[in-house]
Structure 1
Amino acid sequence: MNVLTMSNDADWQARVAHAFSRAAPRYDALASAQRQIGQRLWDSLPDHAYNILDIGCGTGYWTHQLAERYPCAQVTGLDLAPGMLAQARQRYGDAIHWQQGDAAALPFGRHAFDLVFSNLAVQWCRDIDSVISELCRVLRLGGQAHITTLLPGTLEEIAFAWQRPEALLQTPNHARVEQAMAKSGLTISQQTATVERFYYPDLQAVMASIKGVGAQLPRSNSRLTRADIAAAKARFEQLRQPEGLPVSYHCLTLQLEKPL
């Protein structure tokens, strides 16, 4: 997760790509929350697929799993961050096609895929209408898209601890996503909104978990002092549960279909 501040589209994309490229070498070791959320998609996939696109593939974990699950398929992993793709290519080789690109302007022709998979990537795209329109364009008739994205409220504990509302990821709400779907022509076969909470022993572990997957607190004009850090720790301790310090992901899981 990344909690970058808003700016113009080109700058935003460059900053997201840079943050995730920097995180690529340690991403897999710290992406347990992302893996658990992605499992929801895995359990709902169709029995057969022949041309598959993984949007926001990162270091290729799910892309590789898709290639193994569908051994006769042509599988493509797409990501905005070149550093992530370099890790994916090094780890899994060139049997999978790795493509740098933007989900809001997919570099593929019409009707190119019968299955699109995307785990916790769509929330980084500022134009949800373009993303969903592009999904519809590249899907074949009868094709499916299986997506998890994040809703408002994600990272609310971190925003509270640091007293920085801007640490809340600026995502479209559920109704806004449904509006984009209705405009696109895709139909929603299934949708589920859940709150997934993950627990950490201390503030250092919390911050390592989000920074390690490309995230960071927005920079303020001044450096954090020891007093700032101590105050954040004290506020976070107010939220401690028996399992540890909670971090919430407000998730939306979607199964979409392009009508015949």
Structure 2
Amino acid sequence: MAPDETSRPRTASNVAEYFGRLAGTYGDGAYYGNRRKAVIEAIAPEIADAREMLDVGCGNGAYLTKFVEAAGIRTVTGVDLTFEMLISARGRAGAKCRLIRADVARLPFKDAAFDFVFASHVLQFVADVERVVAEFVRCLRAGGVLIATGQRDDSVRQMLSVIAGPERWREYREVIFRRAARREADARPKDRYQQAFAKAGLRVEERAAPFTVTWADIDEWIRIRWMPLVPADERERAESMIGELAKMGVAQVLTQHEPLIIGRRAG
């Protein structure tokens, strides 16, 4: 039985290693594309007002490609801990943005350097949320906005676990759904994020970005997001399991709501 990666100590190096294996494909496919489109539409007013934007935990640049195309933004900066992700981001976004390798808990920027800080699925992987949010806010100008996603990105897995049943789902988790080390204790992590925003002095609001996916999208998501992490000697078994899931879930259509936590710094 392969160990669940949630049992590993969560360190910056572990997270970087984990996502380094996904650098070429993370964010590809209809599932992520639909979610990203919904988020961009939901925060369109904030993007329109931005001039100096920072994407922390920018990954391989999936959002950066949208930000650099937005009218009015003068500079876009992407920060990520994983070197392979930044190489991929450069290939996607070209020379239109700055890319910097750094730990999001220790950003190499002066105070009040940006008027918009964006963090998609970053807070889920940090050990000290309050410290990291405070660091984001340090870099935020008066009147600026910090937007972060508050979802744990496991709604699809929850649906699949119901379809498969508890015993079979344990096998799927062991073989296919190997996860990066992250905080598992919080039933409602977005509440903790909102509290960190408020403690950092931000005026907090929440906004939802709804999107819909079909089974074909979910199947593609499994292959893009999870199959690269399956050891070679377990690939055949994983393929068989994906086939089983397809038979059980082919008629499923899932509507998700990506929660966005928005914090505004006083002007």
Q: Fold conserved (TM > 0.5)?
A: yes
| 2:216 paired residue number | 201
| 2:6 paired residue number | 5
| 1:59 paired residue number | 60
Tell me how far apart the structure 2 counterparts of residues 73 and 28 of structure 1 sit (CA, whole Å).
25
Q: Which moved more, 1:155-164 or 1:231-240?
A: 231-240
Tell me how far apart the structure 1 counterparts of residues 152 and 123 of structure 2 sit (CA, whole Å).
11
Tell me how far apart the structure 1 counterparts of residues 122 and 108 of structure 2 sit (CA, whole Å).
17
Q: How much does 1:17 deviate?
A: 1.8
| 1:20 paired residue number | 19
Q: How much does 1:253 deviate?
A: 0.8
Tell me how far apart the structure 1 counterparts of residues 209 and 69 of structure 2 sit (CA, whole Å).
28
Describe the superposition over 1:1-34 as per-residue Cα deviations: whole angstroms up to 9, x where unpaired.
xx94143332xx3232223222222335434244
Tell me how far apart the structure 1 counterparts of residues 264 and 65 of structure 2 sit (CA, whole Å).
23
Identity in percent: 25
Q: How much does 1:194 deviate?
A: 6.5
Report the count of equivalent residues: 246
Tell me how far apart the structure 1 counterparts of residues 127 and 161 of structure 2 sit (CA, whole Å).
20
Tell me how far apart the structure 1 counterparts of residues 22 and 247 of structure 2 sit (CA, whole Å).
27
Decide whether aligned partners of structure 1 residues 142 and 15 sit closer, same or farther in structure 2, where only a CA change above 3 A counts.
Answer: same
Tell me how far apart the structure 2 counterparts of residues 75 and 133 of structure 1 sit (CA, whole Å).
21
**Structure 2 portions without partners, runs of 5+:** none
Asked whether the 8 Å contact 2:48–2:70 carries over to 1, the reply is no
Asked whether the 8 Å contact 2:38–2:210 carries over to 1, the reply is no
| 1:179 paired residue number | 195
Q: So what's the TM-score if we normalise by structure 1?
A: 0.75
Task: Report 1:1-260 matches (<5 A).
Answer: 4-10=5-11, 13-27=12-26, 29-30=28-29, 31-70=32-71, 73-151=74-152, 153-154=154-155, 155-160=157-162, 161=164, 163-164=169-170, 170=183, 172=186, 173=188, 174-188=190-204, 190-193=205-208, 196-201=211-216, 205-211=220-226, 216=229, 226=237, 234=244, 237-241=247-251, 243=253, 246=254, 251-260=258-267
More helix by share: 2
Q: How much does 1:251 deviate?
A: 2.8
Q: So what's the TM-score if we normalise by structure 2?
A: 0.73
Letter in 1 for 2:115: D
Describe the superposition over 1:184-236 as per-residue Cα deviations: whole angstroms up to 9, x where unpaired.
11111x31356755223398534203227xx747x9xx95885x875775567
Decide whether aligned partners of structure 1 residues 28 and 193 sit closer, same or farther in structure 2, where only a CA change above 3 A counts.
Answer: closer
Decide whether aligned partners of structure 1 residues 22 and 256 sit closer, same or farther in structure 2, where only a CA change above 3 A counts.
Answer: same
Q: Find the residue that maps to 1:59 and give its secondary structure.
A: coil
Decide whether aligned partners of structure 1 residues 128 and 23 sit closer, same or farther in structure 2, where only a CA change above 3 A counts.
Answer: same
Decide whether aligned partners of structure 1 residues 109 and 6 sit closer, same or farther in structure 2, where only a CA change above 3 A counts.
Answer: farther
Asked whether the 8 Å contact 1:51–1:114 carries over to 2, the reply is yes
Q: Find the residue that maps to 1:99 and give its secondary structure.
A: strand
Describe the superposition over 1:235-259 as per-residue Cα deviations: whole angstroms up to 9, x where unpaired.
674454354xx5x766321221111
Tell me how far apart the structure 2 counterparts of residues 145 and 72 of structure 1 sit (CA, whole Å).
16
Q: Which moved more, 1:195-204 or 1:118-127?
A: 195-204
Asked whether the 8 Å contact 2:62–2:92 carries over to 1, the reply is no
Asked whether the 8 Å contact 2:47–2:70 carries over to 1, the reply is no
Decide whether aligned partners of structure 1 residues 159 and 106 sit closer, same or farther in structure 2, where only a CA change above 3 A counts.
Answer: farther
Tell me how far apart the structure 2 counterparts of residues 56 and 249 of structure 1 sit (CA, whole Å).
22
Q: Find the residue that maps to 2:148 and give its secondary structure.
A: strand
Describe the superposition over 1:135-190 as per-residue Cα deviations: whole angstroms up to 9, x where unpaired.
211111111112223148533134554523785875652322222122111111x3
Across the aligned residues of Structure 1 and Structure 2, the Cα RMSD in angstroms comes to: 3.5
